[in-house]
Structure formats: structure tokens, C-alpha cells
Copies of this chain bind each other. A is one copy, B any other.
Amino acid sequence: MPSSAERALLPDSAGMDRVFHALSDRTRRGILERLSRGPALVSELAAPVQLTRMAVSKHVRVLEEARLICREIVGREHRCSLAAEPLQEVDAWLGPYREFWAGTLGALARFVEEEAGGA
């Protein structure tokens, strides 16, 4: 069984597919943003969204399958809450590219400096 650290480092491609796909819809990102301010029922998520409850329900399921939210079923209510772990995986995935753009910006800075110094 892989530890959570291993899970974050070995890029489980299928998992990342699911996470990025889940994030590729603004409605779903909106749901995540809402949940970052505390748990909510499915109907509470649906209320502000100008969409059918069922549409929101499907979005919730997509997020759940990407492990971005988890739901606790209490009575007839489904209480959804944010699960940030996959976002940490995204953060980790971003790692090398962070170095890349730091390099790019560094190179740009050096270029500008050279221009200023040389001219």
C-alpha cells in the first residue's frame, strides 16, 4: 500500500487525469471554492448555481470521483466537504515547472540587466 507521500509523488496518471478533468469546469471550481469556506449539502451547492439540482449532483460526483470532495451521508442529507489532497498532488506536479518558469524569469531578468548594463 503506497503511503500518502508516495501517492503524491508517483504521478498516478489516471488519477491526475480525473483531477485535472474535474478542475476543467468552472462550475466545479466554483463548488470547490464554496467548499473551501466550509461543508455544504448538495442542495446548498445547487441553490446559487443557475443549473438543475441534478446537473450539480453530477458535478459533485465528478469531484468526488477525483477525490476532491468527500461526502458524509447523515440521514437524507449529503454533507460535502473539500478534500485538498489531490490539490496537493497538483501542487507537487507543478514542482518542476515552477523551476522552469523561475529559470525563464531568471533568464529574462539577466537579459534585461545585461541590456541595461551593456547599453
Q: Which of B21, B84, B101 contacts A100 (CB 8 A)?
A: B84
Chain A contact patch, size range:
20 to 34
Interface of chain A, main secondary structure: helix
Q: Which residue of chain B has its CB nearest to the CB of A30?
A: B13
Inter-subunit contact B90/A104 (CB<8 Å) = no
Inter-subunit contact B20/A23 (CB<8 Å) = yes
Is residue A42 contacting chain B, with contact meaning CB distance below 8 A?
no
Query: Which of A51-59, A71-79, A91-99 contacts its partner?
Result: A91-99
Inter-subunit contact A94/B91 (CB<8 Å) = yes
Give residues in A with beta carbon < 8 Å to B. 13-14, 16-17, 20-21, 23-26, 29, 32-33, 36, 82, 84-85, 87-88, 90-91, 93-94, 96-98, 100-101, 104
